[in-house]
Structure formats: C-alpha cells, structure tokens
Amino acid sequence: MRDRIDLAISISRPLRDSSLVRRHLADWPLILCAAPAYLERKGNPRAPADLARHDLLALPQTHHPTDVLTGADGREHRVTIKPRVVSNNQALIRHLTLKGAGLSFQAAPEVRAELGDGRLVRVLPEWATQVLSVDALMPARNPQPAKVRMAIQVLKEHLAPGRATDDVSARER
C-alpha cells in the first residue's frame, strides 16, 4: 500500500491475516519433477521414503511446505529431506532441475512444456502435495477501480481450468 500498488499476484498458500482483499484466481498443484539424466544417474524413487536418498532442490519451507505427500488412498507420508539447494528463486530451482541437479516441486502449469517434451519427468505421480493458491491481492477500496476489476476478470479467464491451470494430463506423466 505504501508503494500505491493497485494489484499484486500471489502464488502460495492462502494468506491468513491480511488487510488486503484477496480474489482467488486458480489452484495450481505442485508436482515433483526431475530431468531424465538425473533419474538415470540416481534412480527413480518408487515411494516417498526413497526421497531421503535423493537430491532435493527447494524453495524455503515458508514459501510452500512440501514435507507431506498424500497418496491416492488418503494416506499421508511426512518427508524429511535436507535440500541440496535452497533458493527463494523458483526460476533458478527449475533451471537446476532441468540441468539434472536434483528433484524439485514445481507448479504444474509452469512446467507443462518441459513435461510434454520430455525435458522433465514427473516423479511419484500417485502422490500429491499441497495445491498453491493463485490470488489477486489489492488494498480494500469500495469500489475497486475499473482497471483492477478488468485485470482480475482477464486473469480469471486466462487461468480458468482447461487453459493454463488444469492438472498435468495423463500423456504428460
């Protein structure tokens, strides 16, 4: 608010207490990925417990915790891995993953092309982690400026299921 920003986009866990108005735009599932070269070198984990033997590239836990995986039957497994690399830059984490430096959790829509062309492979596809909330955040105003309302509408349409945010299809797994 101090910088007079009309609209910010947040991709994270939903904010708890905030003076900002939140408009939910989409849900993005996190998926565990690796480059084929990494899996050839280190092997493909078959269960969450196998992750302890692998190199994890991660954002700080405060960004989006990935320490609990949920199976199709609802069973949860707590993963305790000391990441090989921790960075607050998701682009760096994705770059290192593509180069074969380790496994990383990525928002599914952000790695669709890499999964589709085989540069990345989904790891433990039967296990899920949390879903990231894509939200528009803005100062409380009544009414919101027309430019803010229009931007939110365009973002909602662009991020609608079936477009950029649908889960990774079976052919990409």
Question: pLDDT for 47-99, tens place per residue?
Answer: 998 998 999 998 877 666 667 888 888 888 887 778 889 888 989 999 999 99
- Which SS3 state, helix, strand or coil, does residue 130 take? coil
Lowest mean pLDDT segment, chosen from 6-10, 63-67, 125-129, 142-146:
63-67
Please return the burial class of 151, using the count of CB atoms within 10 Å of its CB with bins 0-12, 13-18 and 19+: middle
Q: How far apart are CA 23 and CA 100, in angstroms?
A: 37
Burial track 19-49 (b if 16+ CB lie within 10 A, e otherwise):
eeeebebbebbbbbbbbeebbeeeeebeebe
